Chain A
Amino acid sequence: MRRDDTPLATQAAKAHSQVMTAPLSIVVVEEDRDRAIAIVDALKDSGDYDVHVIGNVSGLARKIAAFLPDVVLIDIDNPTRDMVEELTLASGPLDRPVAMFVSGAAGGLARAAVEAGVSAYVVDGLQPERLKPVMDAAIARFQIMRQMRTELDETRRALEERKVIDRAKGLLMKAKGIGEDEAYAILRKAAMDQGRKVAEVAEALVTVAGLLR
């Protein structure tokens, strides 16, 4: 389908050309302080930018508008992201129209950003060559944070499973007067017979034991 918003884009480009020499103004929306600091550091390492962090999302669109940013960065998984969408309305709180930068020339960059877990909103008419270093830095940082979060979740899950299996083993050892290895063998056999994970069988056992207590 044809898209025709040239008048808006041209207007914005004109408005923007007047501030071409000033450092890019970037707003990072991130409630977690440590994550916010990490992103700001990564951005500052990659160039001379004017970076602001918004941590409290109440009235987000207005807070962002107050900074008149060129670029807004926000975690793709952040539920408050929909608040930023208000900025894409020409009649919204920011008088310069903003687009999610995926609509612009930087197509490949957009996909990389989405995969890394960062969404960027960019003032219409911003040159791709000015945007690229910002996005490269943001993408790299978000990728690391996403990996860390996944690893943390995995570790937590493994620990939880470990704990529940230990408790189930303990229950079996006490109930049947058997050793630890034998208790684990019983759990593993039940899991294999039922086509379930050992942790699931252990959890069922712990739940039932709790009910019978």
Chain B
Amino acid sequence: MKTVSLPIAYMPLVDAAPLIAAQEMGFAEAEGLSLDLVAAPSWSSVRDMLAFGRVDAAHLLSPIPVTMALGLGGVTTAMSAVSVLSVNGNVIGVSRALEAQLRRIGHPFDFADAAAAGAALAAVAGGRLTVGVPFPFSMHVELLHVWFSATPLSAVDIEIRTVPPPLMAQALAAGDIDAFCVGEPWGSVSVEGGSGALLLPGHAIWRFAPEKVLATRTDWAETEPHLLGRLMRAVWRAGRWLSQPDSRTAAAELLSRGKWLDVPSEVIDRALSGQLTISPSGETRETPGFLEFHLGAANFPWRSQAKWIACQVARRTGQDPVEAMDRAARVFRSDLYRAAMRGTGADLPGASEKLEGSLPHPTPVASGAGRVILEGDGFFDGRIFDPTQG
């Protein structure tokens, strides 16, 4: 097979690991591909590189292709999310001042109970809170809205502000923001630098949130189905490799190189192992399922996930949720995923939509190969999203 070079944009984050591992561990080569990975300075830049054809695929925040389909954010090139690269992996952190106040009222920093953390934060916030997120269209924003809406934080005057992740720790230290929701390694970096403490992992709010997707232009997916299939399989195998506990040390070392994230491997290992150091005094918390690259059909792009994102965004921006969900469902390409992954051993669920939030724990469901175990996907407040109703 002739090796084809594919330009792909990414943001230097721990959850770019499937693309980096696909290239570095030979999964791309096995499919006759060489991934030309282009690091981007911002999410808007990743999106534009993809939209304008500088790259053919990208590591993208899962809400970006959905909101593009809703006409938000300026660029409206039709995008396809062909697989989910990672599930979960965000952290919510607070300033040292808020940390001290939370401890004073007896909050245990259990790094698990979103309801209790929300109530405690509302009690010390003094009526106002500015929260930093990496991008206006991100799972970070969606998780925060879920959290706010179902805790006493709903009564707090909250401003969500975009801050580039590398500047998050600095913004927290300077008092520009009081808290943040960000992907790793940036939460751990703020702990290391002494400017913040971690309050919750993202999956304490939603157990199974699609975080990043592998996105391509829809027209490229249509004209290059074979190339796309090879890319999807290489990335899927890289995700499977990453999910094996034995791979963690190698993966952390690989990602820590100057060429990729340029962050100490020990800091990267926290996200990969789910053992996070939550405060500058060195307390650690074990949080299984913190970041998932493979298990529970993690890579399957459920149309119901896209619809959930669309429904949330539509309600906030005054669009019709039914029409928004209809557009969004065409963005998460479970059809292309099935076509590319048939015969690889990948979990292919029988359905392409599910009730989001209805599985309290891992549950077997019907699939092409018999059964697939889906991981628990509950919301902390017990809400269930029905993709046929909104």
Contacts and interface: CB of A to CB of B under 8 A. Distances in A.
Interface of A: 1, 3-5, 58-59, 61, 76-86, 88-92, 98-103, 110-111, 114, 119, 121
B52, B71, B167, B330: residue with the most chain A Cβ atoms closer than 10 Å: B71
A145 B136 CA distance: 29
Contacts of A59: 161, 176
B162 A86 contact: yes
A18 to B, nearest CB: 24
B134 interface: yes
A79 B166 contact: yes
Given A1-B78, A78-B42, A102-B75, A85 B162 contact: yes
B327 A85 contact: no
Contact of B76 (A78, A83, A103): A103
Contacts of A77: 41, 45
Given A58-B174, A100-B74, A102-B74, A81 B45 contact: yes
A85 B136 contact: yes
Contact of A121 (B45, B74, B78): B74
Given A59-B176, A89-B72, A81 B44 contact: yes
Interface residues of B, number: 36
A81 B176 contact: no
A172 to B, nearest CB: 28
Given A1-B78, A91-B317, A83 B163 contact: yes
A58 B164 CA distance: 11
A21 B246 CA distance: 67
B36 interface: no
Given A76-B48, A78-B42, A85-B44, A103 B74 contact: yes
A110 B78 CA distance: 17
B69 interface: yes
Nearest to B331: A1
A114 B161 CA distance: 26
Interface in B134-172: 134-137, 161-164, 166-167, 171
Contact of B161 (A61, A88, A89, A101): A61
Interface in B111-155: 134-137
A79 to B, nearest CB: 4
A5 B71 contact: yes
Interface of B: 41-45, 48, 51-52, 54, 69, 71-76, 78, 134-137, 161-164, 166-167, 171, 174, 176, 218, 316-318, 327, 330
A88 B71 contact: no
Please give me the 7 A-B residue pairs with the lowest Cβ-Cβ distance, nearest first: A100-B74, A99-B74, A79-B41, A1-B78, A79-B164, A82-B42, A81-B42
Contacts of B136: 82, 85-86, 88-89, 92
Contacts of B43: 82, 85
Given A86-B136, A100-B44, 18 more contacts: A59-B176, A77-B41, A79-B164, A79-B166, A79-B167, A80-B164, A82-B162, A82-B164, A83-B162, A83-B164, A85-B73, A88-B74, A89-B72, A91-B316, A91-B317, A102-B48, A102-B74, A111-B52
Contact of B48 (A5, A84, A91, A119): A119
Contacts of B174: 58
A102 B161 CA distance: 24
Contacts of A58: 171, 174, 176
A121 B22 CA distance: 35
Nearest to A5: B71
Contacts of B135: 82, 85
Contacts of A1: 69, 76, 78, 218, 327, 330
29 contacts: A1-B78, A1-B218, A1-B327, A3-B71, A58-B171, A59-B161, A78-B41, A79-B42, A81-B41, A81-B42, A81-B44, A82-B135, A82-B136, A82-B162, A85-B43, A85-B135, A85-B162, A88-B72, A88-B73, A88-B74, A92-B136, A100-B48, A100-B75, A102-B48, A102-B52, A102-B75, A103-B74, A103-B75, A114-B52
A98 B136 CA distance: 14
A1 B280 CA distance: 48
A89 B167 CA distance: 22
B173 to A, nearest CB: 12
B51, B136, B174: residue with the most chain A Cβ atoms closer than 10 Å: B136
Contacts of A86: 136, 161-162
A114 B316 CA distance: 30
Contacts of A90: 317-318
A99 B75 CA distance: 8
A66 to B, nearest CB: 15
Nearest to B52: A114
A90, A98, A100: residue with the most chain B Cβ atoms closer than 10 Å: A100
A79 B75 CA distance: 18
Nearest to A83: B162
Contacts of A110: 52
Contact of A4 (B71, B162, B164, B167): B71
B65 to A, nearest CB: 10
Contacts of B74: 85, 88, 98-103, 121
